[in-house]
Amino acid sequence: MGRNKEKLEKVRKELNEISTTIITIAANVAIPSE
């Protein structure tokens, strides 16, 4: 059970990083730099 929770935390952290990356890219696309 403990190992399962560890895996869940790792996945959650990775998803968090991916979300941040997507938001950053979306912001860069929405605000075109000239």
Global pTM exceeds 0.85: no
- The sign one gets for the Cα dihedral 8, 14, 15, 16 is positive
Residue 12 exposure: Cα atoms within 13 Å on the Cβ side: 6
Distance CA 3, CA 5 (A): 5
* pLDDT score of 18: 98
* pLDDT score of 19: 98
The per-residue pLDDT for range 1-34, each reduced to its tens digit, is 688 999 999 999 999 999 999 999 999 998 876 6
Distance CA 7, CA 21 (A): 21
* pLDDT score of 10: 97
